[in-house]
Structure 1
Amino acid sequence: MSDPQLIRIGARSSPMSLAQVERVRAELAAANPGIATEVVPFTTSGDRWSGALVELGGKGAFTRELDQALLAGTIDLAVHCVKDVPGDRPVPAGTVFAAYLKRDDLRDALVHPGGLTLDRLPAGSRIGTSSVRRVAQLAQRWPELEPVPIRGNANSRLAKLDAGVVDALLLAVSGLERIGAQDRITEILTVEQMMPAVGSGTLALQCRSEDEAVVEAVGALNDAETFRQTTAERMLLHVLQGHCNSPIAAFATTEHDGRLSLRARVFSADGKTTLDAHEWDRNALALGTSVAATLLRQGAHEVINAIPH
């Protein structure tokens, strides 16, 4: 009997990333009983840096080391949150997203120790978030609240909240669920209250494109509808050429008739300008391109380029 195939999985060493890898390992084992897996943890430059991401070149700070390890052959598979993967450029040549796992909850959540909702927080309350998308939407709908930049993984942010550094946090529902902290959620915001980031709730599995055995094994985990939705969202981001300081929000859903719906917004940093588009199509790439074109006709390039990056 031959030895089982070994897939070395690279992941950031945060509790959330490691929880995501355990999900991948379990799904791989169920789909491919002959495969063994090994976790190779990384601490990326984005994890080490406590300042603004734009100073490190944007979201690529969370993926660059894993890209390099894949291409060097020291790992066979990288697990990414799609919302952390830069959308203004393709994945590095020689790599491919072989699968998108079935999407988790894409909404944002408020965590407040006193159990208040955003609408009930006192004026001047400090809301911890480093997302320009969330900051713009806070400024638009809750201008009396004060966004406070806060970096670090979800566990460290919760610790800072408990220490009184901020009064409340905005975090992804899916992230809190992955670390078993869903009981900390005070309010789940609707997509109208806080439109999600491109790729929210979705995990992407990246392999070397020439590694056919791994691509095939990992491909068995792909969720077809999540793949279509995420493809539409990422095409939108690519055409808009949004940078890491661009408040861009979008989410795709699948209608009963099989068409994709894609809703997208581009905000100015202060939330005073909002561009909105919503279209339907069966072709994910065509839909992402079309919605982006609609936003560009409304002036999206001017709004995006007005924000320093």
Structure 2
Amino acid sequence: MLSDRPPLRIGSRTSPMAMAQARLVQDLIAKVAGDIPTEIVGIETSGDQWMGDLAELGGKGAFLKEIDRHLMMGGIDVAMHAMKDVPGDVPLPEGTMFAAYLPREDVRDVLVVREGSPYTRLEEMPPGTRIGTSAVRRKAQLLKHRPDLHVDRIRGNVNTRIARLDAEKRFEAIILNLSGLHRVHMEHRASEVIAPDVMCPAVGSGVIGVQCRTADTGIAELLRLFDDAETRTHITAERTMLHGLRGHCNSPIAGHCHTTPDGQLSLIGMVFTREGGKFAYSHEWDSPERPAELGAYVAADLLRKGARGIIDGIPH
């Protein structure tokens, strides 16, 4: 009987956005294998609990290690990760794999102004305006574009950050990801979509990776049914670049791969100092069959242009 089958346990962070992503995976599994029961297991991570600087917890890996531990010890069968939070300098836990990448969502960042603000666009904001962001990548690029702004850190999930923006009036605006706003039904708060040439996305931005144990071949085959091939190609290029740079959690590294209208892979890579005053930039193209080669080439090009010195000059 179907009721006798133990449910497939999907592990996820407990933030509203992460739980929405977990429900998306749950729906996909139901579509391809409706006879397999599933349940979502919410896991509170140290990264979610800690409101200080993530670097003190070891960086973005603080969002992953508890979930990885549950997966490796059999507490869950499938793990959900936002690929932008998966470090480039730490290997995947032995015996695990990303069996599926969901189709990439909108990678663009947006400006969200506090309620009652007289401004709607970055260009309208006077020198010294306070902008909040949780990402060193965003801070570096924002200051490169507008060095006259005052950019400071704000932590918490999307809902919490917007609530703090309105209530505390500490910031005039914050920078968030457009697809994240859509996922929590707050896209109406975006007052300006920031052009990608001003704000290059994080490596893995907009992509959900679905992880399982390599020994669970049946689960891996199930997940592969909704793996998006183009997204896997783009992620391969971006993460190969990230591995080649050996950036740590505090490294402001941006990277974005897409397929051009004529079918070529395009990969932009950028490395910044934390204040955006110094940076290395590379943009190269290759055929869609060579994402790893493209990623390795862009990483090598960035290193030739001084990326190693920039990364090593930023404290861990």
Q: TM-score range by the shorter chain?
A: over 0.9
Residue 165 (structure 2) pairs with residue 161 (structure 1) = yes
Task: Give runs of aligned pairs for residues 141-220 of structure 1, distance below 5 A.
Answer: 141-163=145-167, 164-220=169-225
Specify every segment of 5 or more residues in structure 2 that has no aligned partner in the other structure, as ranges. Answer: none
- Residues 161-215 of structure 1, C-alpha deviation per residue, up to 9 Å, x if partnerless? 0111321110111111111110110111111011100000000001011101111
After TM superposition, give the deviation of residue 33 of structure 1 in Å: 1.6
Alpha-carbon distance between aligned partners in 1 of 2:261 and 2:37, rounded to the nearest angstrom: 38
Q: Which secondary structure state, in structure 2, belongs to the residue aligned with residue 186 of structure 1? A: strand
Aligned length: 309
Q: Which residue of 1 aligns with 2:297?
A: 290
Matched letter for residue 191 of structure 1: P
Alpha-carbon distance between aligned partners in 2 of 1:257 and 1:144, rounded to the nearest angstrom: 39
After TM superposition, give the deviation of residue 5 of structure 1 in Å: 6.2
Alpha-carbon distance between aligned partners in 2 of 1:4 and 1:168, rounded to the nearest angstrom: 49
Residue 108 (structure 2) pairs with residue 121 (structure 1) = no
Q: What is the TM-score normalised by the length of structure 1?
A: 0.97
After TM superposition, give the deviation of residue 4 of structure 1 in Å: 5.0
Q: Which secondary structure state, in structure 2, belongs to the residue aligned with residue 280 of structure 1? A: strand
Matched letter for residue 291 of structure 1: V
Q: Which moved more, 1:200-209 or 1:114-123?
A: 114-123
Alpha-carbon distance between aligned partners in 2 of 1:193 and 1:255, rounded to the nearest angstrom: 20
Task: Give runs of aligned pairs for residues 182-261 of structure 1, distance below 5 A.
Answer: 182-261=187-266
Alpha-carbon distance between aligned partners in 1 of 2:94 and 2:248, rounded to the nearest angstrom: 20
Q: Which residue of 2 aligns with 1:102?
A: 103
Q: Is the 8 A contact 2:279 2:307 kept in 1?
A: no
Alpha-carbon distance between aligned partners in 1 of 2:80 and 2:271, rounded to the nearest angstrom: 28
Matched letter for residue 224 of structure 1: A
Alpha-carbon distance between aligned partners in 1 of 2:5 and 2:101, rounded to the nearest angstrom: 24
- Residues 260-290 of structure 1, C-alpha deviation per residue, up to 9 Å, x if partnerless? 1101111111211121111112311111111
Q: Is the 8 A contact 1:4 1:34 kept in 2?
A: no
Q: Which residue of 2 aligns with 1:24?
A: 25
Matched letter for residue 167 of structure 1: E
Q: Is the 8 A contact 2:111 2:122 kept in 1?
A: yes
Alpha-carbon distance between aligned partners in 1 of 2:285 and 2:67, rounded to the nearest angstrom: 35
Alpha-carbon distance between aligned partners in 1 of 2:217 and 2:35, rounded to the nearest angstrom: 16
Identity %: 50
After TM superposition, give the deviation of residue 90 of structure 1 in Å: 2.1
Q: Which secondary structure state, in structure 1, belongs to the residue aligned with residue 215 of structure 2? A: coil
Q: Which secondary structure state, in structure 1, belongs to the residue aligned with residue 7 of structure 2? A: strand
Q: What is the TM-score normalised by the length of structure 2?
A: 0.95
Specify every segment of 5 or more residues in structure 1 that has no aligned partner in the other structure, as ranges. Answer: none
Q: Which secondary structure state, in structure 2, belongs to the residue aligned with residue 109 of structure 1? A: strand
| RMSD after superposition | 1.2
